């Protein structure tokens, strides 16, 4: 009997220990992936971690650009209750690292060989002072057009190759009584379109001079006036109900045949796939005309906030390891619409748009035409990004003309530094 009780005691102890470990291994994840396509992609990560007995405590904060999530994060950190892992973009990661709030991921990065497979442009945001502080999930790019193929076929519109071709196509749709350009009137969406307008006017050299180096002459140049003129042209093809519309609802307009085109990052593809649409058959994906050969990128990364609990630290490492595994990078990005953050992931599982995205990224990176997105915090820190938002949105809403916008851009950017 005593032997039985001893075995029972060992069993109970083991069960209690395993329960404790499971609880300790939970990760609380703050993110803004709340649309249908985004949620489907996030579920790939949840399922992957569940297979390793890592629990997921979900903390979604809606808002396509992540501003609301970052406000929530600041409140949590100030209260001394930081989440385990947080979805972040660009300079936000570096800002938190500079505050000493992020965990060090060097051990898992060394074990998994991240330095050899993550492009240098991404490492610029995933590492701080030589230390890995976040795990990149993907690479998105913003200079994409998503088009309803049925509308284009009906109106005899071929895929536009130049900016002028694009304007002609938009006008043809508008003349047919349809919405030419689906858009949501939110600052980050206006700025996403602005990424492409800048590239279409001056290419990556002008883009870098103005928005990475913040050169005053470039910011106030005639080229910048032309950028704002192109933004005004696009504004003329947007429907009157665009103000405040979420990006995924604009995508739905194209999906449902209510609009012909949307300029949006490749996360939009997840909405098309989630709706059962097939690239090439139901929708087209192509670079914004005039930006071919260039890629404006942003990379979703999970930054790990420093934790005192050993179990939480272990879970963070395992989450980072899972995120960076080639199998996960493929499975996640196939669903999300983005491309892998690793250069060694096969493209077999990707559709035509995904394969093109991977080719474009590799080509842009190899030829110096890969630039961080102005709109998504990969060109400059938050203060400058927000100053650009203010000018771009005010101009898009008709508050002033292109020349005034360029002059205001200089003033606002200089003041924000």
Residue by residue, pLDDT tens for the chain (417 residues) are: 444 344 444 333 333 333 333 343 689 999 999 988 888 888 998 998 898 888 999 999 987 678 899 999 999 999 999 999 999 999 999 999 999 999 999 999 999 999 999 988 899 999 999 999 999 999 999 999 999 999 999 999 999 999 999 999 999 999 999 999 999 999 999 999 999 999 999 999 999 999 999 999 999 999 999 999 999 999 999 999 999 999 999 999 999 999 999 999 999 998 999 999 999 999 999 999 999 999 999 999 999 999 998 889 999 999 999 999 999 999 999 988 899 999 899 999 999 999 999 999 999 988 999 999 999 999 999 999 999 999 999 999 999 999 999 999 999 999 999
Residue 17 has what pLDDT?
37
Nearest to 280 by CA among 142, 141, 149: 149
Question: For residue 14, what pLDDT is reported?
Answer: 36
Strands 131-132 and 127-128: antiparallel
Roughly how many angstroms between the first and final C-alpha of the chain, as a whole number? 76
The CA distances from residue 201 to 13, 120, 226, 276, 371, in Å, are 68, 26, 7, 35, 15
Per-residue buried b or exposed e for 22-61, using 16+ beta carbons within 10 Å of the residue's own CB:
eeebbbbbbbbbbbebbbbbbebbbebbeeeebebeebbb
Helices 222-235 and 187-211, axial angle in degrees (round to 10) = 160
- Strands of 32-170, DSSP E: 56-60, 85-89, 127-128, 131-132, 134-136, 140-141, 144-148
- Kind and range of the H or E element at 262? strand 259-263
Q: Is 403 exposed, middle or buried (0-12, 13-18, 19+ CB in 10 A)?
A: middle
Q: How far apart are CA 162 and CA 126, in angstroms?
A: 35
- Report how far residue 300's alpha carbon sits from residue 324's, in angstroms, rounded to the nearest whole number: 12
What is residue 25's predicted lDDT score, i.e. its pLDDT?
Answer: 65
CB atoms within 10 A of CB 80: 6
Candidates 298, 296, 288; CA nearest to 200 is 288
Q: Which CATH number fits domain 2-137+300-349: 1.10.760.10, 3.90.1150.10, 3.40.190.10, 3.30.390.50?
A: 3.40.190.10
Q: What's the CATH superfamily of 141-297+356-416?
A: Periplasmic binding protein-like II (3.40.190.10)
Sequence ranges of the chain with CATH classification 3.40.190.10: 2-137+300-349, 141-297+356-416
What's the pLDDT at 347?
96
């Amino acid at each position: 009997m005593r032997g039985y009780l001893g075995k029972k005691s060992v069993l109970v102890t083991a069960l209690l220990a395993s329960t404790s470990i499971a609880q300790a291994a939970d990760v609380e994840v703050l993110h803004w992936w709340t649309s249908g396509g985004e949620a489907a992609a996030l579920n790939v990560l949840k399922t992957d971690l569940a297979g390793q007995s890592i629990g997921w405590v979900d903390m979604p904060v809606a808002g396509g650009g992540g501003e609301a999530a970052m406000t929530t994060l600041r409140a949590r950190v100030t209260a001394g209750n930081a989440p385990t892992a947080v979805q972040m973009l660009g300079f936000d990661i570096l800002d938190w690292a500079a505050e000493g709030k992020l965990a060090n991921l060097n051990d898992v990065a060394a074990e998994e060989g991240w330095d050899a497979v993550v492009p240098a442009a991404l490492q610029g945001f995933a590492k701080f002072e030589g230390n890995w502080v976040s795990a990149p999930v993907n690479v998105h790019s913003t200079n994409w057009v998503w088009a309803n193929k049925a509308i284009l076929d009906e109106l005899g519109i071929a895929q536009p190759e130049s900016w002028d071709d694009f304007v002609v196509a938009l006008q043809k749709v508008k003349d047919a009584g349809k919405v030419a350009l689906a858009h949501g009137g939110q600052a980050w969406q206006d700025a996403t379109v602005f990424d492409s307008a800048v590239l279409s006017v001056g290419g990556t050299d002008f883009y870098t001079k103005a928005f990475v180096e913040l050169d005053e002459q470039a910011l106030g140049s005639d080229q910048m006036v032309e950028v704002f003129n192109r933004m005004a042209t696009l504004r003329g093809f947007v429907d009157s109900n665009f103000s405040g519309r979420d990006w995924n609802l604009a995508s739905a307009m194209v999906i449902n045949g209510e609009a012909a085109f949307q300029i949006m990052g490749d996360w939009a593809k997840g909405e098309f796939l989630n709706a059962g649409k097939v690239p090439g058959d139901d929708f087209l994906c192509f670079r914004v005309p005039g930006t071919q050969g260039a890629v404006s990128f942003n990379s979703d990364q999970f930054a790990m906030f420093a934790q005192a609990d050993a179990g939480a630290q272990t879970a963070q490492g395992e989450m980072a390891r899972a995120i960076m595994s080639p199998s996960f990078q493929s499975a996640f990005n196939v669903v999300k619409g983005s491309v892998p953050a690793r250069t060694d992931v096969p493209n077999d599982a990707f559709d035509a748009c995904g394969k093109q995205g991977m080719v474009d990224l590799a080509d842009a990176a190899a030829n110096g035409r890969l630039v961080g997105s102005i709109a998504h915090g990969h060109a400059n820190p938050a203060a400058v990004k927000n100053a650009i938002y203010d000018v771009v949105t005010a101009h898009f809403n008709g508050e002033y003309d292109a020349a005034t916008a360029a002059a205001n851009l200089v003033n606002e950017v200089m003041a924000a530094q």
